[in-house]
Structure formats: C-alpha cells, structure tokens
Amino acid sequence: MRVALFALLLSANPLSLIAHAESLIPHPLSRIQEPGFRIGDSGSGIRDERSGIRNSNTDVIDRIMAVVGGRPITLSDVSAARQFALVQVPPGTADPIAYTLERLIDRTLIVAEVERFQPPEPDPSEITIRIDERERQAGSAAAFEKALAIVGMTREQFRRHIRDDLRITTYLNQRFGAITAEAGRQAAIKTWTQELRKRAEVTVLSSAR
C-alpha cells in the first residue's frame, strides 16, 4: 500500500522529492553545528551550543569565527571574553576583537593539552572567589546574570571557564616552572603555543569585523 502511494506521488510530481536536494548535502561545518557539540566546552570553554543566543523562534544566532581541531570559536565567545575581561587586551591594540580571537585559539589548544595531562583540580573556593569578584564588579548578582545572558552564557559555563583558567595556570607552572625569569618563561610559553598551533588544524573563518 505504501509503495503504491509513493509511486503515485512520484508520478504526479517527480521533482518534489529533490526540490530541496541541497539540504541533503552536509555542510562542511555541519558536524560542529550539531546541538550540544560545543561552543563552550571545547577549548575556549565559554559557551555551550544549547545555550546560545536565540531569537523568539529559538534559533541560535551566532557566527563561527574560527575552528580549532573541529571545535568552533564563535563571535559570542569573543564577546564574552571581552565583556568579562577573560582575555587581557593590551591598551592601544589596533584590533581588540581579532586579538581576543587569537588568544581564544591559543587557549583552545592549551586546554586540549591540559586535558591530556590532567593536572590537579583547582580548589572550588578559588573558583567561587573569582566569580564573586566578577559579581561585585557588575554591581550585583542580578546585573552579573544579565551580563551573562547578553553574551549567551550561564553561571555554570562561566564557572567552567574559570576552572579551566586555573587548570591552565597549574599546568604551565608545572611545565615551565623551572624558568625563573618572567620574560624567559613567557617566551618559552609563546614558542610552545606556536608549536601546538603548527600541529593542529586551525581555520580562521572571520576577521571578526
């Protein structure tokens, strides 16, 4: 019965089944757009696809700016990093958005290394102290929550970001702690990060403008 009905529909309008054939062809970035794949739980650690900025129809409104090892960094990630000073942009930087994006790319690569070596977990109280400080800077808990919502974050996602920052600090201290001079230490970290980048698949899709 179903076969006969299908044949009838096909004979009546054979193009109806391929009218939108392009929708059957996966986009090269379709894997990273699957619900819950990540925007925050990868390397940049800022947002999760399921909590992205949405319109009234619950569509995610965002723009992928870079892909690092299959993990996207979005415009909202960059906006969140700037909003909460998660990336320290030097005064006078010509393009703060592009600078922030580059630092988030580096951070994604470093977090991947941290996950490989699993340094000790930070003290939860240290995370709480940093979040409380951001609340004070915002003026109130309500203002802080509103600021998070504007960039598509939740408190838990922000907490994970702070956690990963502390894990990164622990890992870098373990790896480069023998270098006592700060300039030499920073130079060594920069060289190491550049090597990580050479070994990874990094695609910048937007100039952030």
Q: Which CATH architecture has domain 36-204?
A: Orthogonal Bundle (1.10)
pLDDT at residue number 74: 93
pLDDT at residue number 180: 86
Helix, strand, coil share (%) of the chain residues, nearest 5 = 60, 10, 35
pTM of the model: 0.70
What is the rounded CA–CA span in Å between residue 97 and residue 89?
A: 9
pLDDT at residue number 7: 45
pLDDT at residue number 101: 96
Residues of the chain with pLDDT under 70: 1-61, 206-209
* Amino acid making up residue 12: A
What letters, b where the CB count within 10 A reaches 16 and e where it falls short, cover 86-100?
Answer: bbeeeeeeeebbbbb
3-state secondary structure (DSSP) of residue 112: helix
Q: What is the pLDDT of residues 147-205, one digit of tens each?
A: 999 988 999 999 999 999 999 999 999 999 899 899 999 999 999 999 999 999 999 98
Nearest 10 degrees: Cα torsion 20, 24, 25, 29: 110
Residue with tokens 């980048």: 197
